[in-house]
Chains A and B, each alone.
Chain A
């Protein structure tokens, strides 16, 4: 044990005696240990692959050509549209995600466990299915409002899940103190709970914003032109990769700016226990006369976000005559989907762990750079990420090309930030003092990570893994290009069936997708105590 630093590195100025502490600052400046740094650098390099590709493609015909594409009036216009849409969707997701998380975790809401599973289900609905569902019910809902509605309803769990994880792990003592001082539930929520969940909510918001930037399905059906739709159209209209690549670079710049801005506002947020003791479950807040409105709120959200797509599936089955039951095929496809999505989630979570821990525990340029790298490609449309992997694989990893490992890698590149965000929020919330104690007892950084950091952050990391699992399951554009020839996932089947308008035949695949996504939701819902 002589290789480890026997003296705990502490910063006396950052050790207040209060119940709430800006945990993120405790270890400011401390260099991440190699055991974190090296895997994090690997993950970052991985996530930066699409950027390398974009550099090659966008400069293929010289910087002047690329600049012509970028410095176009329409580029600015599309950018503004994407930003506006993202702002509205993020706001709505914060409202839905935080309110539902608080109601299901911290209050005596009847059926809280069931609600907590139900409200994560919309995540399993591909954005184009949601958009389709709404359009078939309300054909005039096209344009901005339709796109905003569909995107909000499929992405609010990005906020809900990490916030729930934080609320479950948070020390209820602070809230109890607040209550004992005579503050009502609302005031306690605003002044104690909300600051606690801020990092998780902010991380979720970034994911939602990046999801909105990268979405093609919903905006395309809703005919609302965004930046990503411009990129897709560029591929489809000119079969030319250079303009699409140049436009994608703008998305990357936008992403980096967004992530940097979020890191700045995050600042000193992050709350963890500094005192002794282990977490204990919070005593649910009584809802009193708010019981009915709270139930109504949960019912309304579930009805709108879950029942609409399910209702549409039922409608497809009822009216369509393309319905063909192929249980063996469905089972087979579901099995494949589970396997690739689980592998994708596992790889992504493993890669995200070191990045998330560094982002939570270390400040400074290296930490920022690593985190930003992990996010850099997340706003890119799936087709761009897929083409970049085609580019690298045929050159440097040909045996893997169109084989499962490459598809799993694609999922990791696409969804790394989903897992990083969840890990970071979870680590931020666990008290760094325990890690310091472990280190002072001579534990190596790896053992500290394994025995202290990860166990403390486990619920949050698990939430991230579940989230990644679900988004891998419904991924379409990269799966189409990179899957082994002949392999099908539920998402690709759904694409095939809806491509010929066989909605009834598509319904079982869509239903299976939602059903499978319910499994991680259910497991997370059970992980309450």
Chain B
């Protein structure tokens, strides 16, 4: 009984070792004209990137991953990187690569399509779509929605706030508050929020559901979750509402997803075409309609019902490149016992 089983095992191993050799024949990315490292989810952007392939006129291969991990990978690859274009979920990862000098400067005409507030200071990355921090509220429980996140530390909101402390957008917002108002103010605000015993959720969608069900009265979320819920369930079934904060409040931070040309990827012409495609009306409409984000290129407005134009929002003025280091924010959150 034993000997045959060993022989069988050996045969299995031999077969298993051969499989990748055979399977490997089918995979060949070397003929790809452009390689995109995408920190944005495949489900969200694949249809767009399929269009992009047609627009740039060369084969496009996309690697999907987490933005931060892909940024680390590009740093590790250095001059031998395979990436021509880095499509990041947030400005921070792009800022980090920019600081390390790993991004190529973009042509001015590409940059000029987007408001300077939504592109890298060094001109080596540009935002492609925006997302706004908003307050979600339950209209049955809240008559007067606060106009500033600073109101959330008042005792009247004790136990009535839902948030996701581990969410990158929440952390970016706290970083924004640090940049705008200083570390001491941000620390004090976090302390106040914590003292108000906010309810912790896994993700923004759960916060919205919690607000809708009345588990909490207010929630700190990104705007598009609400629009996506409305699109999926219909407005009548979505019990929450959202409020855009006025007056340049840090709670109204606009963060962006964006792209940068990776140095050493030797795919510059194709990558530049890709950037221009992502800023084209067609792509910008895609972000507005399909991912419910804000189009950033000048002249394109959202067609999503009820989504106020970006220009009408009173977002805080902030250099998004400064959101690069979340380290201090994280330490604050840890010290406050939030993450």
- Which residues of A does B touch, CB under 8 Å? 74, 135, 142, 220-221, 223, 225, 233-241, 321, 336, 339-340, 342-343, 345-347, 349-350, 383, 386-387, 390-391, 394-395, 398, 401-405, 408, 454-456, 458-459, 461-462, 465, 477, 480-481, 484-487, 492, 496-497, 499-502, 527, 529
Closest A residue to B204 using CB positions:
A501
Of A240, A462, A485, the most chain B CB neighbours within 10 A belong to: A485
Residues of B within 8 A of A500 (CB): 41, 43-44
Contact of B326 among A237, A390, A496 (CB under 8 A): A237
B213 close to A (CB within 8 Å): no
Contact residues of B between 1 and 51, Cβ < 8 Å to A: 1-3, 5-6, 9, 12-13, 15-17, 19-20, 23-24, 27, 29, 32, 35, 41-44
Given contacts A345-B16, A346-B17, A390-B77, A135 and B202 within 8 Å (CB-CB): yes
- Whole-angstrom CA separation of A496 from B5 in the bound complex: 39
* B contacts with A: majority SS: helix
Residues of A within 8 A of B62 (CB): 485-486
Residues of B within 8 A of A342 (CB): 12, 15-16, 19
- Is there an interface contact between A394 and B69, defined as CB atoms closer than 8 Å? no
Given contacts A239-B92, A239-B93, A405 and B20 within 8 Å (CB-CB): yes
- Is there an interface contact between A350 and B13, defined as CB atoms closer than 8 Å? yes
Contact of B61 among A386, A456, A486 (CB under 8 A): A486
- Whole-angstrom CA separation of A398 from B2 in the bound complex: 42
Given contacts A239-B92, A390-B77, A343 and B16 within 8 Å (CB-CB): yes
Question: What is the CB-to-nearest-CB distance from A38 to chain B, in angstroms, rounded to a whole number?
Answer: 19
Residues of B within 8 A of A527 (CB): 5
- Is there an interface contact between B72 and A496, defined as CB atoms closer than 8 Å? no
- Is there an interface contact between A223 and B200, defined as CB atoms closer than 8 Å? yes
- Is there an interface contact between B2 and A339, defined as CB atoms closer than 8 Å? no
What are 8 A-B interface contacts by the 8 Å CB criterion?
Answer: A237-B325, A343-B20, A394-B80, A455-B6, A480-B65, A486-B27, A496-B42, A500-B44
Contact of A347 among B17, B327, B330 (CB under 8 A): B17
- Is there an interface contact between A485 and B43, defined as CB atoms closer than 8 Å? no
Question: What is the CB-to-nearest-CB distance from B131 to chain A, in angstroms, rounded to a whole number?
Answer: 14
- Is there an interface contact between B76 and A220, defined as CB atoms closer than 8 Å? no
A-B contact count (CB 8 A): 153
Residues of A within 8 A of B96 (CB): 238-240
Question: What is the CB-to-nearest-CB distance from B233 to chain A, in angstroms, rounded to a whole number?
Answer: 9
Closest A residue to B68 using CB positions:
A236
- Is there an interface contact between A480 and B69, defined as CB atoms closer than 8 Å? yes
Contact of B43 among A142, A235, A459, A499 (CB under 8 A): A499
- Whole-angstrom CA separation of A395 from B79 in the bound complex: 10
- Is there an interface contact between B3 and A455, defined as CB atoms closer than 8 Å? yes
- Is there an interface contact between B23 and A404, defined as CB atoms closer than 8 Å? yes
Closest A residue to B329 using CB positions:
A237
- Whole-angstrom CA separation of A350 from B3 in the bound complex: 18
Given contacts A237-B327, A398-B80, A496 and B41 within 8 Å (CB-CB): yes
Residues of B within 8 A of A239 (CB): 68, 71-72, 75, 92-93, 96-97, 324
- Which size bracket describes the interface of B in this complex? 35 or more
Contact of A404 among B27, B32, B44, B65 (CB under 8 A): B27
Given contacts A235-B72, A387-B72, A387-B73, A336 and B23 within 8 Å (CB-CB): yes
Question: What is the CB-to-nearest-CB distance from B64 to chain A, in angstroms, rounded to a whole number?
Answer: 7
- Is there an interface contact between A485 and B334, defined as CB atoms closer than 8 Å? no
Contact residues of B between 272 and 313, Cβ < 8 Å to A: none
- Is there an interface contact between B330 and A241, defined as CB atoms closer than 8 Å? no
- Whole-angstrom CA separation of A458 from B8 in the bound complex: 11
Q: Which 10 A-B pairs have the closest CB atoms?
A: A239-B96, A237-B326, A342-B16, A346-B16, A236-B68, A404-B20, A339-B19, A346-B13, A484-B27, A485-B61
- Whole-angstrom CA separation of A350 from B12 in the bound complex: 12
Closest B residue to A505 using CB positions:
B43
B232 close to A (CB within 8 Å): yes
Closest A residue to B32 using CB positions:
A485
- Whole-angstrom CA separation of A383 from B200 in the bound complex: 27
- Whole-angstrom CA separation of A321 from B228 in the bound complex: 13
- Is there an interface contact between B203 and A501, defined as CB atoms closer than 8 Å? yes
Closest B residue to A404 using CB positions:
B20
- Is there an interface contact between B200 and A394, defined as CB atoms closer than 8 Å? no
Contact residues of B between 132 and 189, Cβ < 8 Å to A: 166, 168, 171
- Is there an interface contact between B20 and A408, defined as CB atoms closer than 8 Å? yes
B107 close to A (CB within 8 Å): no
- Whole-angstrom CA separation of A234 from B330 in the bound complex: 9
- Whole-angstrom CA separation of A391 from B81 in the bound complex: 11
- Whole-angstrom CA separation of A390 from B77 in the bound complex: 7
- Is there an interface contact between B76 and A391, defined as CB atoms closer than 8 Å? yes
- Is there an interface contact between B77 and A394, defined as CB atoms closer than 8 Å? yes
- Given A223-B339, A239-B72, output 16 extra A-B contacts at Cβ < 8 Å: A223-B166, A225-B339, A233-B339, A234-B327, A236-B326, A237-B329, A239-B68, A239-B96, A390-B77, A401-B82, A405-B20, A454-B6, A456-B2, A465-B9, A485-B61, A486-B27
Contact of B72 among A241, A350, A394, A497 (CB under 8 A): A241
B78 close to A (CB within 8 Å): yes
- Is there an interface contact between B92 and A394, defined as CB atoms closer than 8 Å? no
Residues of B within 8 A of A486 (CB): 27, 29, 61-63
B115 close to A (CB within 8 Å): no
- Whole-angstrom CA separation of A376 from B23 in the bound complex: 31
B235 close to A (CB within 8 Å): no
B197 close to A (CB within 8 Å): no
Given contacts A237-B326, A387-B76, A500-B41, A402 and B82 within 8 Å (CB-CB): yes
Q: What 1/0 mask marks residues of chain B from 91 to 102 whose CB sits below 8 Å from any chain A CB?
A: 011001100000
- Whole-angstrom CA separation of A30 from B43 in the bound complex: 58
Given contacts A221-B202, A501-B205, A481 and B6 within 8 Å (CB-CB): no
